[in-house]
Structures are given as C-alpha cells and as structure tokens.
C-alpha cells in the first residue's frame, strides 16, 4: 500500500514537472527537395525558443523545448504522420511549420484543426492558404504569392511594359504564382499573352519557348526555379532571340543566375521577399553568434514564427491553443511597444504586466487579412551581369 502511494505521488510529481515544460513542434522539410533551406529556418526557430526559455519569464518561468518533425515537402502523408506524432505523442502546444505549401495544407487539415493546435508557417506562400478554413489556428510569417504578384505587376508597369508572356514551373508554387500574377497584371491594365507551364529537369525547352515566342510579349515572366527549368527556358529564349527581357520572381533571383548568363540578361528585373529593417541586421548578428547564417531564405521568418507563438501564449497567460490563438494578431501588430530580435524577454515582461506590444522581429512582421505577413519585397535589376538592389516595397 505504501509503495503504491509513493508510486502515485511520483507520478503526480512527474505530471507536474511535465506541465512546467512547454513543447513547441518544429515541423520542416528536413529531407526532400528543399532540405538545404530547412536547417537555417529550424535554427532560427530554436534560437527564439531557447531565448524565451532562458529568460525565465514565459508563463511564470516555464521552459520551452523544441521537438523536430520532418514534413518532407512533397509527401503529404509523411508530413501528416510527422505532425500527428508531434501532437499526440509529444503533446506540443504549437507548431512552427510546415515548410512547403502542399505539406502545410495537409498538416493543417489533418492534424492541426482536428486537434486544435496553432500552426505558424515560416515559408508556405501559396495563395490558396489565405482562404483555407482554419478555425483561426493557422498563421504565416511569409507573405502570400498573391502579394508578390501585385508587387511584380506594379514593377512591370513602372518599367513601361504592358504585354508579357508567362511561363511557370509545373507545380503548386508555379501555378499559384502564375495565376495570381495574371489576375493582378490584368487588373492593373496589362495584357498576359500566354500562361504556359514548363517541366523541370528536361534537356530541351525549344518547344516551350517556341510557343511563348509565338504568343509574343515585351518580356517573359519566368515563375520557376533557377537551378531547374527556369534557366533552361531563359537559355533557349536567348538562343532563339525570342525574348531578351525577363521578369524574375523569388525562385529565380540567386547568384547562380548571373553566373550562368552574365550580362546577357541585363535589363531584366524582379523581386524577392526581403527587408532592410534594423531587426533583420540584429538577427543576422545574433545568428552568427549562434553559428548559422541568418541571411538564408526564411530563417528570419522561422525565428518570428516561434517568437509569435510564445508571445501569444504569454498574452493569453496560457499554453492552450484555443486561448492563445486569439492573441497572435494582437502581439504581432500595433499598437504597443516595438519588440526586435533578442528582446523577447522585454516583450514577455511587458505582456506579463498587462501591457501591449507590437512584435516587429527579424522580418518586419505585420500580419494582415487571415493572419499572414503583408510582406516586404526587395526589387532587383540585372546590371552589368550583377544583381543590383533597386529598393524595397
């Protein structure tokens, strides 16, 4: 009898200890086509978690531990299984993730909504996720491609072009971006002569370029990947003299573009997510101290996603998703004291005191509409074989 009593006492103690620890899932594509991108995002998220945990101010001194899960990128059922494990076996209070748009939609529908867990994705950009039914549980610190499309349409108009052809990589990302660009550009009074897909990993794109050239246009919008078919299309278009000006969205702006084409594509232009905020610079130096590269794509958004989850918990005074999901938009937006990277302790303290904060973070967070980043974009142009930053918008 005595031993039974002590056993149950120990169990109660264990349960109490377990309660004092908040677990946050980091569900990213650690394997698959974007595995090289996942590492820095996870490091960013985990940096925010340990920062808040070390401060000892979260929910009256609770510790936070990250639990990693692999959402792959292309395999929705693997992503769902990983999400299921985080929620049911690990009992996470929130999820930073998933990474690709397809995997994110699957985890949201099959795991997050049925179990009532908050998800903040640092990198899913499909416009489809803006309108998905999410019970207020889904947010993202990355801007929707619908926003990028509007920015891209504006930039093209400002270059004085009114007629463009569009080719996209044949997947969810490419199609989403191409479709939303078409409607944005036509709404701005421009004409899209053709929207044609191309498949990645082919040797020859002359047929695709032939069709694009026949449709005509003053420039070619290439919504593809620079290390894949996107470059093949540009090469073939240059060879046949079909187009010499290209509009380059986020998947195409990379150093390997100018390594391949040099000054052949001078005068081409584009945009990618990016901001010149002071939070970004602070984050870069924090990341360097932590031993990873903070300038990697979506690493800042990873930090911000994790920070938002914890700040919302603090504002609600509870790690219960149904309580803190209401607070995410509140802590992310004005009014309130501005909070930058490395200042999570300050933010937690203000919230504990019943104050108001406006989390700016590393990526200049401003959540709009259904809880997604409004997005800041870096406008670039190709000059003398170099990618030159024109400005931010």
Partner 1 sequence: MDLLNALVALTNFVIVPATAYGAQLALGALGVTLTVAVLRFTNVAHGDTMAFGTMVTILATWGLQSIGITGGPVPTALIALPAGIAATAALLLATDRLVYRFYRQQRASSAILLIVSIGVMFVMNGLVRFIIGVDDQRFDDGARFLVSARDFKAWSGLDEGLAIKTSQGITVLTAAVVMAALFWFLNRTRTGKSMRAFADNRDLALLSGIDPERVVAITWILVAALATIAGTLYGLDKSFKPFTYFQLLLPIFAAAIVGGLGSPVGAIVGGFIVAFSEVGLTYAWKKVFSYLLPMGLAPDGLAQLLGTEYKNAVSFLILVLVLLIKPTGLFKGTST
Binding stretches for partner 1 (CB under 8 A): 170, 194, 196-199, 201-204, 206-211, 213-216, 232, 239-242
CB of 262 to partner 1, least distance (A): 13
Q: Which CB atom, from 193 or from 374, has the smaller least distance to partner 1?
A: 193
Q: Please, what is the minimum distance in Å from the beta carbon of residue 266 to partner 1?
A: 14
Q: Which is nearer to partner 1, 113 or 215 (CB)?
A: 215
Nearer to partner 1, 39 or 216 (CB): 216
Rounded to the nearest whole angstrom, what is the least distance from the CB of residue 32 to partner 1 in the complex? 15
Torsion angle defined by CA atoms of residues 92, 360, 280 and 345, in that order, rounded to the nearest 10 degrees:
-60
Q: Which is nearer to partner 1, 203 or 335 (CB)?
A: 203
Q: From the CB of 148, what's the least distance to partner 1, in Å?
A: 24
Strand ranges of the sheet holding 219-223, from the earlier edge strand across to the other edge: 191-198, 163-169, 219-223, 246-248, 269-273, 377-383, 386-392
Angle of helix 145-158 versus helix 172-187 axis, rounded to 10: 50
DSSP states of 201-266: T-S--HHHHHHHHHH--SEEEEES-TTTHHHHHHHHHHHHTS-S-EEE-TTT-SHHHHHHHGGGGT
User: Which is closer to partner 1, CB of 152 or CB of 213?
Assistant: 213
Nearer to partner 1, 8 or 214 (CB): 214
CB of 175 to partner 1, least distance (A): 12
Q: Is the dihedral of CA 75, 79, 84, 90 positive or negative?
A: positive
CA distance 167 to 233: 9
Q: How far is the CB of 296 from partner 1 (least distance, A)?
A: 21
Characterise 97 by phi-psi region: left (phi > 0), alpha (psi -120 to 50), beta (else). left
Please identify, using beta-carbon distances, which residue of 136 and 210 lies nearer to partner 1. 210
* CB neighbour list of residue 93: distance below 8 Å, 6 or more residues apart: 22, 23, 24, 117, 118, 309, 313, 319, 320, 321
Take residue 113 and report the two structure tokens written for it. 């909504």
CB of 195 to partner 1, least distance (A): 11
Q: Is the peptide bond before 343 cis (omega within 30 degrees of 0)?
A: no
Provide φ and ψ at 125, rounded to 5°: -115, 0
Q: Give CA 234 to chain center in angstroms.
A: 26
Cβ proximity to partner 1, 232 vs 361, nearer residue: 232
40 vs 229, 296, 302, CA distance in Å? Answer: 25, 7, 8
CB of 211 to partner 1, least distance (A): 4
């Amino acid at each position: 009898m005595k031993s039974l009593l002590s056993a149950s006492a120990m169990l109660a103690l264990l349960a109490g200890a377990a309660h004092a620890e908040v677990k946050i899932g980091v569900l990213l594509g650690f394997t698959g086509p974007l595995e090289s991108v996942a590492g820095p995002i996870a490091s960013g998220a985990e940096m925010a978690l340990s920062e808040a945990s070390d401060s000892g101010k979260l929910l009256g001194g609770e510790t936070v531990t990250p639990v990693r899960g692999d959402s792959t990128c292309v395999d929705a059922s693997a992503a769902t299984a990983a999400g299921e494990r985080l929620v049911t076996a690990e009992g996470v209070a929130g999820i930073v993730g998933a990474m690709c748009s397809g995997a994110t939609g699957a985890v949201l529908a099959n795991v997050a909504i049925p179990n009532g867990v908050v998800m903040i994705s640092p990198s899913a950009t499909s416009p489809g996720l803006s309108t998905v039914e999410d019970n207020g549980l889904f947010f993202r610190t990355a801007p929707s491609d619908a926003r990028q499309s509007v920015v891209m349409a504006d930039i093209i108009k400002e270059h004085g072009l009114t007629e463009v052809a569009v080719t996209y990589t044949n997947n969810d990302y490419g199609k989403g971006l191409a479709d939303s660009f078409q409607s944005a550009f036509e709404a701005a009074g421009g004409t899209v002569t053709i929207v044609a897909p191309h498949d990645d990993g082919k040797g020859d794109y002359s047929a695709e370029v032939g069709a694009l050239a026949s449709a005509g246009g003053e420039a070619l919008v290439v919504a593809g990947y620079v290390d894949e078919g996107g470059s093949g299309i540009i090469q073939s278009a240059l060879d046949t003299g079909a187009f010499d000006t290209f509009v380059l969205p986020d998947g195409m702006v990379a150093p390997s573009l100018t390594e391949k084409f040099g000054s052949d594509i001078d005068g081409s232009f584009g945009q990618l997510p990016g901001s010149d905020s002071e939070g970004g610079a602070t984050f870069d130096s924090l990341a360097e101290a932590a031993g990873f590269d903070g300038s990697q794509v979506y690493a800042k958004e990873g930090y911000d996603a994790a920070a938002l989850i914890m700040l919302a918990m603090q504002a609600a005074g509870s790690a219960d998703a149904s309580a803190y999901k209401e607070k995410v938009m509140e802590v992310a937006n004005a009014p309130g004291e501005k909070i930058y990277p490395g200042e999570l302790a300050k933010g937690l303290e203000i919230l504990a005191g019943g104050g108001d904060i406006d989390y700016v973070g590393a990526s200049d967070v401003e959540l709009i509409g259904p809880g997604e980043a409004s997005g800041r974009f870096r406008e670039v142009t190709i000059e003398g074989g170099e990618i030159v930053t024109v400005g931010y918008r």
